[in-house]
Structure 1
Amino acid sequence: MIPRPFFWLFPLLALIPAVTQAELVRVAVAANFTDASRQLAERFQQDTGHQAIISYGSTGKLYAQILNGAPFDVFLAADEARPSLLEQQGQAVSGSRFTYARGKLVLWSRDANHFDNGPDYLAGGQFQRLAVANPRTAPYGLAAQQVLEGLDLWQPLQARLVRGESIAQTFQFVATGNAETGFVALAQVQAWPQSPGSLWDIPQSLYDPINQQAVLLSRGQDNPAAQAWLTFLASDAARAMIQQAGYDTD
């Protein structure tokens, strides 16, 4: 069960919807959470008056940007490792880290008749390109690698893998037809406006939990909007929106 955050450092005023002065919070967001974060940012501004300025990318690249001084106040990663490292490295506020969502990995094709059984399709190899996110920079890519390794297909399929630098780029490979199939986030498929296509909802026993953690960065510790954003992200209203977008929250 995902623990609720312990916001000992957040002022109580952050819980009050109406604010006397609107502030900006700059948020670095893992690419899989793009659509959900846009909806959350709109609700956040309505509820608090603050504005969230969001930048998207792979968790690994955003982490590197933060280490190199990128002006972010909050980091919404797609894993636990990078937020934890930022705490250890003095780049994030200790005690502010919490899991805001648990991601779900799926195998997806935009063609509704492309496959019926995911494992059989992968083992049969009747495709030219299979899209995966880079396991070194994208947690969803690491999860895809774990699935393929569990099916004893990681090495046999190497020549057919097309690697995206983020899960957003990986999804685009499949959505544009540059890859017949790919490992993407369920949330991306749910946000896809066209036919749902072919989908294998991969059992979560085949990959490590994708616990997506948020953390207050040192740069944002005195920013009321940054504190309000994290408080909002842990609220029942935000959690309901996150679940609706295709994630688990407990």
Structure 2
Amino acid sequence: MSSFVRKAMTAIIAIALASLLAPFAAAQTAETLHIAAGAGYRKPLMALISDFRQRSNIKVEASFGHMKQIETQARQSPDIMLLLGDRAFLEPMGLADQYMPLGAGRLALIYKAGHTLQGIQDLQHESVARIALPDTKRAVYGKAATQCMTHWKLDEALAGKLLEADTVPQVGTYVATGEVDAGFVNLTEALALENRIGGYVLLEDDCHTPIEISIGVRPDHVGNPAVKAWTEYLQSREAQAILEKFGLRAE
């Protein structure tokens, strides 16, 4: 066989292989999940994404904010496939077609190093001058904190001490750096800050509307293979262990 023939055959084989592999490569490139999530769940979601990536070839991109920001992002970008947050906030948006519960959200009261609080009533003490909470209208745990203060008839007594932040992580930062004495966050944030704060108190679930943290699938992406792989992964023991580690209690 001449050198020319060998080169020609090699070129033909290369072209044939390229044409066969091109659709597969394109599919792999297209397999990117876009998730918009409540800022208070950055840590568990990033842990889930990291574990999921080790088990699949699917790339995952996530953006975070309070629920109003999530809604704005989703309305502006049809590429966002999944929404993560409190179902009571997600459903009125009308942006998701299916919901998958991840667990019950827990409200926690954290306090700075050097302080000790036994419960929400202790916020009335003179030693507690500033109390941070997330946005009371657009953030799940800001709304829950307001409900609990009303439940315990503390709204008037604490009104002058309150500092409204944007998101749960911002409240956590304020307490960890000592800018405020205490703050309302979710259990996920309280656990993450355990070594940087004085401690935390879990508040009773009956003082606020139940918080069901869910993944909502947008209508245009219900049949997407990447979405299906992700939702199936969330039901695995590995994913459930991660959620539990970050304070999301199975319902």
Amino acid at match of 1:107: L
Identity of aligned residues (%): 24
Once residues 201 and 28 of structure 2 are traced to their aligned partners in structure 1, the CA distance between those partners, rounded to angstroms, is 47
Which consecutive unaligned segments of at least 5 residues does structure 2 have? 1-26
Q: 1:245 Cα shift?
A: 1.1
Partner of 1:245: 246
Q: Which has the higher contact order (CA 8 A, sep 6+)?
A: 1
Q: Show the 5 A alignment for 1:137-176.
A: 137-176=138-177
Partner of 2:62: 54
Q: Is 1:180 equivalent to 2:187 in the alignment? A: no
Partner of 1:106: 108
Once residues 82 and 216 of structure 1 are traced to their aligned partners in structure 2, the CA distance between those partners, rounded to angstroms, is 14
Partner of 1:126: 127
Question: C-alpha deviations, 1:133-178, integer Å up to 9, x for none?
Answer: 1121111111111111111111222221111111122212212222
Please identify runs of 4+ aligned residues in structure 1 that moved more than 6 A: none
Amino acid at match of 2:96: A
Note if contact 1:83-1:214 (Cα within 8 Å) is conserved in structure 2. Answer: no
Partner of 1:14: none
Once residues 205 and 193 of structure 1 are traced to their aligned partners in structure 2, the CA distance between those partners, rounded to angstroms, is 24
Question: C-alpha deviations, 1:61-116, integer Å up to 9, x for none?
Answer: 21232223363111011x11233224xx4x323xx2121121111111131x4124
Once residues 160 and 116 of structure 1 are traced to their aligned partners in structure 2, the CA distance between those partners, rounded to angstroms, is 16
Question: C-alpha deviations, 1:21-64, integer Å up to 9, x for none?
Answer: 36110111111111111110011111122121111111222123
Note if contact 1:44-1:51 (Cα within 8 Å) is conserved in structure 2. Answer: no
Amino acid at match of 1:206: C
Selected match of 1:97 from 96, 99, 120: 99
Once residues 150 and 125 of structure 1 are traced to their aligned partners in structure 2, the CA distance between those partners, rounded to angstroms, is 21
User: Which has the larger displacement, 198-207 or 217-226?
Assistant: 217-226
Selected match of 1:21 from 28, 37, 41: 28
Q: How well do the aligned residues superpose, as a CA RMSD in angstroms?
A: 2.0
Look at both structures and tell me which one has the larger radius of gyration over its CA atoms. 2
Note if contact 1:92-1:217 (Cα within 8 Å) is conserved in structure 2. Answer: yes
Q: 1:232 Cα shift?
A: 1.5
Count the aligned residue pairs. Answer: 224
